[in-house]
Chains A and B, each alone.
Chain A
């Protein structure tokens, strides 16, 4: 692994076919380099660098040490490619295509340009001073993904995958959606890039999220109502996979979360890591140090992985995912997959699952349609089992508390999904000292949820 770059004290450098993170100053003539092509790997590829006169020569010594995922798409026991044989060639083709663009300056440059000018990145890191003061304790920072174009983090991934599909010559895009946020993001990216877009959405979710359905139709996507099974997100994914099996040669399946067969979990993570990399630099600028806690809500888990991943190597930073506790774990009506599920195989990956004793997948429940999924990204399963991240549940009622708290103290209406993370932080902050710092990913804005909140509180609008 060889490359050359201008000698900055610390930062991202380009060389050897991708981006590397370098700590330079600490070692004088020699520095430490870490391979972050496609994001930082937990215990990933490290090496030494040397340099002369401000020009560096990058030499990677040392080998791959427990790089996840491995070439079979495994994060420890989790992940993999559990798909019908018909899709194996497509999954392999996607893996090749993605590996091809990962280190391509042309592709990454185009994506970075669109993220800046079209999505509005970098999104701000906001010090929620009123909320922090109100709670009394830790300083809470919000990573404002709600300010991204379309109102949620989903666009980061949708744009990345749509560009990739375009480069693969696939002009027909299919997607699944629960709350409609990913469907809107996919429809947006397709409209902008001139691609055909078909969105599968459960009949039940279409009823709950009519605003987003209309947004997708305005963006000229075709919204297909799914009436099989439980008529929610899991069945929309089944139906999208059935379409993909049938039209695999012309169609790209634009999955909206870090779920599905390899390479989706790693690819979606890489596209979402922009959240964490920005937040890392922003918190260092604001506080001069890394946060004590990084918190995010977890359904499939894409905003959480995107936020967590750049901090995974920072052992002092605690990573906390907030799952939807629904009506409470004891009620059986929840989506707390990592807390209450056990490992199994769904939608192409080995991961924690809500399932009955016979291995039949159980219906999930949450007040927020975006968390209403009985599986979870395989990397979260790995982070849980390895102890690197912890996962807690927040009930529907607690999420509503978090929702109102943020409206009241900061004038920000969060998505109900993100309100789970806000509540998690609010619960934690008072117990921590005033020196503690919590970083919360505010994954989306709450306009889409106004009707649900009003309905839950018997308010007529």
Chain B
């Protein structure tokens, strides 16, 4: 499936009124069982795709919220292999929603670029976003992804030059991620005008779907982004809700937040995770 699942999802989004909604959550925060319960519930609540954050010790593009979730996941002993295992467990539970791994390059490099791409393929991961791997350095991972039909999704920023936009769009598949601000991840009170302007600049170079992220935290932001781009990505605002929720209300509150972003009321999840189904790589 891979790239094709992403393409199908965006084709569906383009046929309807409402913009696409991509949610980000850190894998293994507050624990891996929670991640496995949350993802199908959030898809049922209206998320069209899920970015699963792979925790890293030095998340230098993250604001305080995702730094904290990443740090807590690592404290739980979550490894890259665990995240891939979680993706594999989730795959049949969300058959139509693209699953994208988002993280930093060192854990990928340490796992081995080719084994990582191969494991992504076998786990049913559709795309990869590596925050600190700009186009100029992405060659080895891009080659491994391409041969396995996995999208390596480029990030573009308001500071991106015309040349780097053109180059990234040429090599891209799946969709292009537009970073709406010059800054780190984190909820902001309004959508940055520079982010919307960036969408226009990127649109001139590609027909691929465009998603806008960083700082998107409210239903009106999603609608505003939807007026120019195909999808909005909500990360820190969701993780903030998770940080603030007691464990027994976590799934319910996170689902309600995602439903509000999608302009819907929560639905029961079609595929539901049965506790105990997941075993971490380490414990196997």
Contacts and interface: CB of A to CB of B under 8 A. Distances in A.
A344 B159 contact: no
Interface in B92-108: 104-108
B118 interface: no
Interface string A61-90: 000000000001000000011111111111
Interface in A357-382: 357-361
A346 B111 CA distance: 15
Contact of A245 (B80, B137, B182): B182
B204 interface: no
Contacts of A353: 106
Interface stretch (A141-149, A217-225, A234-242, A415-423): A234-242
B142 to A, nearest CB: 14
B131 A248 contact: no
A245 B134 contact: no
A398 interface: no
A264 to B, nearest CB: 15
Interface in B166-185: 168, 179, 182-184
A210 interface: no
Interface in B31-74: 56-64, 67, 71, 74
Interface residues of B, number: 44
Interface string A327-353: 000000000000000011111100001
Given A84-B131, A249-B159, A242 B61 contact: yes
B196 interface: no
A72 B137 CA distance: 9
Interface residues of A, number: 39
Given A82-B105, A242-B61, A344-B110, A88 B134 contact: yes
Q: Which of A81, A82, A347 has the most CB of B within 10 A?
A: A82
A82 B137 contact: yes
A157 interface: no
A360 B56 contact: yes
A85 B107 contact: no
Interface of B: 56-64, 67, 71, 74, 79-81, 104-111, 131-137, 154-161, 164, 168, 179, 182-184
Interface of A: 72, 80-90, 92, 228-229, 234-235, 237-238, 241-242, 245-249, 343-348, 353, 355, 357-361
Nearest first, the 3 closest Cβ-Cβ pairs linking A and B are A359-B110, A359-B107, A86-B157
Given A82-B134, A245-B184, 13 more contacts: A81-B136, A83-B132, A85-B134, A85-B160, A85-B168, A88-B134, A89-B164, A92-B161, A238-B59, A345-B104, A358-B81, A358-B111, A360-B57
17 contacts: A72-B136, A84-B60, A85-B135, A85-B159, A85-B160, A238-B59, A242-B61, A246-B184, A346-B58, A347-B58, A353-B106, A358-B79, A358-B81, A358-B110, A359-B108, A359-B109, A359-B110
